[in-house]
Amino acid sequence: MPACGNDYSCELVDKLGLHGFWGRTVQFLLDKPLKILFVVVIAAVLSRVLGRLARGAVESLAGKTPVRRVSARADQRARTLAGVTGSVVRIVVWTVASLTVLGLFGLNLGPLIAGASIVGVALGFGAQSLVRDFLSGFFILVEDQYGVGDKVSVAGSVGTVEEVSLRVTRLRADDGAVWFVPNGEIRKVANATMGWSRALVDIVLSVDADVHAALAAVSEEAAAFAQDQAWAEAVVEPPQVLGVEAMNADGITVRVVVRTMPLRELPVGRELRARLLARLRRDGFSLAKPPPVAAPTATATDSSTAAAAGTEGG
């Protein structure tokens, strides 16, 4: 009787009394397929469990970030990235399972793994910036820091986002220029369209103006502006008159702030300035005048030139 040890298939063949070709055939059919089936079952379980864990981790990260906007776009983006992450995990699991199955058939995987390792190290050294771009882009998309249509300032470039991928962000500047910013170079992001914006309106009154009466007029006009139905959609909260912001010999600065919808702060600020200016003029308040521009003084060169001209004329 052959020494089977703990080999189940060998012991089963011996119990069945099979020898020679049939014994080896039955042992092969029991040995290899069972091991392959075991590997496939383990891979299926791991791919499902690890895929769900990866998707849950991405969705949790997208839901807990403080800069995340509660919007359909953010939820859809989180689900998409979670699905991609789960797919990557499943690909890795099934790749390892496939290599294991090939090893069961007696293939020498040593040279293949060694070659893949060398190529991976070389690519790792040569593509460090590329990997950094992809990782940064992944977190930008997961956290929904900005999206297409947002006006942002990233890496010293200001513009409207036209495309966001895992590697690069494409911006359209106000002058029409297109900026391609690698995600790995983005350290700080200023998003002007996240949630709300704020319009600042400064009014410079003359130094002899009645400040309390002017503040009352400004507050009344600002409240009337907030109730205007034409601007109700753009104004999030009624304007706030903060009072005297600064004062000097040239005038007294009164500041008004109003919270607006994203990208509506400029038109709201222009309209509010026009209304406040008209109200103050109607109530007889005078605005501060800019300081007079000093006349240019004659330089030493000009004096020399004038003297030379006078000498030649004499």
Which pLDDT tens digits describe the chain residue by residue (314 residues)?
455 545 555 655 566 665 555 556 655 666 677 778 888 888 888 888 887 887 777 666 655 554 444 455 566 666 667 777 777 788 888 888 887 887 777 667 667 666 666 666 666 666 678 888 888 888 888 777 888 888 899 888 889 998 888 888 999 998 889 999 999 888 888 888 887 889 999 999 998 889 999 999 999 999 999 899 999 889 988 899 999 999 888 889 999 999 999 888 999 999 999 999 999 999 998 887 766 655 555 444 454 444 444 444 43
Q: Which residues of 187-208 are buried (b: 16+ CB within 10 A; e: fewer)?
A: eebebebbeebebebebbbeee
CATH of domain 144-191: 2.30.30.60
Q: At what angle do helices 128-143 and 110-126 cross, to 10 degrees?
A: 80
User: Where do the structural domains in the chain lie, given as residue ranges?
Assistant: 8-107, 144-191, 197-282
First to last CA, the chain: 138
Nearest to 201 by CA among 277, 274, 269: 269
Neighbour-count burial of 13, counting CB atoms closer than 10 A to its CB (0-12 exposed, 13-18 middle, 19+ buried):
buried
Number of alpha carbons in the 13 Å side-chain half-sphere of residue 138: 14
The whole-angstrom separation of Cα 219 and Cα 52 is: 56
Q: At what angle do helices 211-226 and 265-282 cross, to 10 degrees?
A: 130
- SS3 label, residue 215: helix
Nearest to 265 by CA among 298, 294, 239: 239
The whole-angstrom separation of Cα 193 and Cα 264 is: 9
Nearest to 220 by CA among 282, 277, 281, 279: 279
pTM for the predicted model, two decimal places: 0.53
The whole-angstrom separation of Cα 255 and Cα 240 is: 9
CATH of domain 197-282: 3.30.70.100
What Rg value do the Cα atoms of the chain yield, rounded?
Answer: 37
Nearest to 231 by CA among 174, 190, 195, 274: 274
Place of tokens 């220029």: 177
